[in-house]
Structure 1
Amino acid sequence: MWGYLSLVPISLALWASAGVWLVFAIAVINRDVDLTKDFPFISKCGSFPPQSCIFSQVLNIGAAMVVWICIVRYYQLRDWGVKTWPNQLILWSGILCALGTSVAGNFQEKNQKPTHITGAFFAFVLGNIYFWLQIILCWWVKGLPQPGAPWMAWLRLGLCSLCTMLMVAMLVLYSSRLRSTSAAFEWAVAMLLFLLFGLFAVDFSVLEGCTLSLQPLRSLTPRPSASPGLHSLPLASPPTPETLKP
């Protein structure tokens, strides 16, 4: 049976997917986007209140879950014997992806377009790089555990390749002013990234749990005496029979 750690990647995939489509639905109902004219980008759906508030909350919680997944994955790879520098490279690419997601959610395109575009770049590009680094690591390190079915590695390779191709096509179509098709590709890329994060449930299924251990900090100064100044006082000599005489 899968451990409770497997629920976090699944929850992320479901939360993020349902959240952005909820924002899309509210934007259509409020007529902030017009589907008869063109298909909207994700950022356009989340630019106007009240759906902009939901958009920010969905991406902030999703970014926090991504950070949690990246940290657990870092320690899992470390326990499998992966060297520090490639492991840290993977970790920081995932954390920057989460940071970009949060920035894109909090700085809407309508209010802060340059900041929003920067956050979206980090979210999409570094998110894709994060999974490519995982795939390269599995090929580079021989004997690395591969939880799940044998075809899981090929599924991830196919999803990563499709995500990269759609991302390149999205940029080409956007520069060619084919905005509706470009927006549709953007939604597809987002769903693929959510799915790739959700597949970490397979890797985390071999984990029985996680523990937090705290190590005491070594003091640089000696411990103070229980009774300060005790050693500086003269010790009284025991009484003798002569001193007890009246």
Structure 2
Amino acid sequence: MMESAGAGTPGSGVEERVQKHAVMLHHLGVAMDRVVQTMDCWERQRVPPVPPPAQQGSPLLTPSAPGSSGICLTLPKEYDGTASHCQGFLLQLDLYLATIHPAPLGHERVSSLVSKCGTQPPESCFFSLFCSTGCFMVMLIGLLRYAHIIEKHENCVLNTASLSTGWICAAGLIMVGNFQVDNAKVLHYVGAGVAFPTSILIVCLQSALTHRLAKTHGEYNVGQLRLGMSLLAFISLVLSGVFFIQESFALQHASAIFEWLFCIIIMLFFGTFAFEFGDMSGDTLMVLARGGGVQGFSNSDHKAEEAGGPKHHYQPDGIAML
């Protein structure tokens, strides 16, 4: 009687459960080893795996579609809410998600690059729209800046070079926006190779032009601001290019950060032209209409005033709102 009572103690039941779980773990380990060996054999032979046929009478009747690894797993069992089954359910869920949605590679993880943010619709539509609008604004601001310098000062090599560089940058920007990297990689990279260097050249030329034409203390301050922004943009572009060619995920993520920082600095740089465009008048458009001949335009006005003709004073108008 004592022996039979001792055999039914909770201690013996726990030992039986431990042994049973140990055997189950052993079988599971053997099965996992076989799976690993089979996958290694498939990788060496490059043979696509064939999913096993579904077992009859299995409670899991909804097989999942094979992921990129080729392994077909069924959905995890429904979790009943008990604490003892929580770890097993999480393990099944991890295996299922790892098979159906495997972790992306290093070059696939970095989707925060400017180009990668506009590859799929509807993002690609907005990306193309923003790049096209930016192309138009670069051409317009460059043209107004060119005419404004001729009106207030005189034409020079830096002014003409800045206008030409801006229009080349606009051509590269329109290629970047309309040829997404996943659809036309070569044309996209050609456009990026034109847009990024020319944008740096624009800000450098405009910074040098501002320092050359500065006469007041405020104009010198604007020149210093543009010089600092040009330096930051150059550093951001160099770091972005250096980190982009690396295999490390962290460095490629840093490349995306510096690329966005570069774009923000360039947009803020163009915003600084509001200081000069504040006193823009109708004479600026007349300079463009006369092909840059502001001196002839001023001389004719001076002769008209000496002859007693009406004086036309162009006040700042809606053009400055651009």
User: TM-score, normalization: structure 2?
Assistant: 0.51
Deviation of 1:115 (Å) = 1.0
State the match for 2:285 in structure 1: 211
Tell me: higher relative CO, structure 1 or 2? Use CA pairs within 8 A at least 6 residues apart: 1
Distance in 2, Cα, partners of 1:152 & 1:39 = 36
- Alignment of 1:67 onto 2:132: no
Report if aligned partners of 1:74, 1:87 keep a CA contact under 8 Å in 2: yes
Aligned mate of 2:263, from 170, 190, 208: 190
1:218-244 CA distances to partner (integer Å, 9 max, x unpaired)? xxxxxxxxxxxxxxxxxxxxxxxxxxx
CA drift at 1:208: 2.9
Whole-Å separation in 1 of the counterparts to 2:161 and 2:219? 27
Deviation at 1:80, TM superposition (A): 3.2
5+ residue gaps, structure 1, are 1-33, 216-246
Q: Which ranges in structure 2 are unaligned for 5 or more consecutive residues?
A: 1-103, 291-322
Q: Partners of 2:204 and 2:174 in 1: how far apart?
A: 22
Q: Distance in 2 between matches of 1:214 and 1:171?
A: 41
2:236 corresponds in structure 1 to: 166
In structure 2, C-alpha distance between the alignment counterparts of 1:174 and 1:127, rounded to whole Å: 19
Rounded to whole Å, the distance in 2 between the matches of 1:214 and 1:154 is 32
3-state DSSP of counterpart to 1:42? coil
Contact 2:110 2:256 in 1 (8 A): no
1-structure distance, mates of 2:216, 2:125: 40
Taking a change above 3 Å as real, the CA distance of residues 77 and 181 of structure 1, as seen in their structure-2 partners, is same
Cα 1:204–1:74 change in 2 (3 A) is same
Deviations 1:69-94 (A, max 9, x none): 00011111122334343321110111
Partner of residue 47 from structure 1, selected from 108, 119, 129: 119
Give % identity.
32
Alignment map for 1:1-246 (pairs within 5 Å): 37-38=109-110, 40-139=112-211, 141=212, 143-145=213-215, 148=218, 150-177=220-247, 178-209=251-282, 210-212=284-286
Aligned pairs, number = 179
Separation in structure 1 between the aligned mates of residue 224 and residue 253 of structure 2, nearest angstrom? 31
Cα distance change, pair 108–193 in 1 and its aligned pair in 2 (3 A): same
Contact 1:148 1:203 in 2 (8 A): no
TM-score, structure 1 as length reference: 0.66
- Deviation, 1:147, is 8.7
Question: Rg larger in 1 or in 2?
Answer: 2
Partner of 2:68: none
2 CA distance for matches of 1:47 and 1:90? Answer: 31
1:211 to partner: Cα distance:
3.5
CA gap 1:207/1:175 in 2 versus in 1, 3 angstroms: same
CA shift digits 1:110-156 (9 cap, x unpaired): 111111112122222111110101122233x3x54569564322211
* 1:186 Cα deviation after fit: 0.4
CA gap of 1:200–1:117, structure 2 versus 1, over 3 A, is same
